[in-house]
Amino acid sequence: MGFLDKIFGKSPEIKAAEQSMGNDARADPRCAQVFGLVGVAYQVDPGYLKEHSTKAIREWYSVKSIADVDNYRFEIDTYPGYNVYRRVFLARAAFGAGLADAQGSWARAFAQLQIAQQMFPSWDAYGASYLEGSLAYNAQQKVSPQRLEEIRASAQKRQNELRGGVWRTTPLR
């Protein structure tokens, strides 16, 4: 929970996202595993953050259709954890942005979950690969060494939170 959340409480959008995530996980346990994948960077499923997802899809990734999501190619493609995260993010953000229906979004996310389950023996191994890729991507973007250390520290903090949450309660495999 962020500093402002502690003072003012969670926004209605975040509360609704958390409720939807709980409903999803009860309906299909794989949803909780998907939350474990995207959780390295998000506290809630981006599929339930409509405005954020729309901005990400349109401005960050320049995606206009679900075919663009399916055919998206990354500049750095050598860090499987980071790529799984980005593909799950794209799948769920496509839902949030209205480019994919729930079933199609989950199908894409579940396909990435299967890849993660085949590639990584544990959540920690996935998290390490995600972090390596995130740092490599940001270094390629000419982020300062100080900012890279902030990214590292933030990611490690988030992974520690996951170890006490979804990564503890939900096995990757």
Residue ranges of domains in the chain = 50-169
Calpha distance 36→48 (Å, rounded): 15
Half-sphere exposure of 142 (CA within 13 A, CB side): 0
Rounded distance between C-alpha atoms, residue 156 and residue 52, angstroms: 23
Which is more confident, 11 or 104? Answer: 104
Place 4 in a pLDDT band, splitting at 50, 70 and 90.
very low
Report the predicted TM-score, pTM, of the whole model to 2 decimal places.
Answer: 0.90
Q: How far apart are CA 74 and CA 89, in angstroms?
A: 13
Which DSSP string do the residues of 25-90 spell out, in sequence order? Answer: HHH-HHHHHHHHHHTTT-SS-GGG-HHHHHHIIIIIS---SHHHHHT---S----HHHHHHHHHHH
Which pLDDT tens digit goes with each residue over 102-112? 999 999 999 99
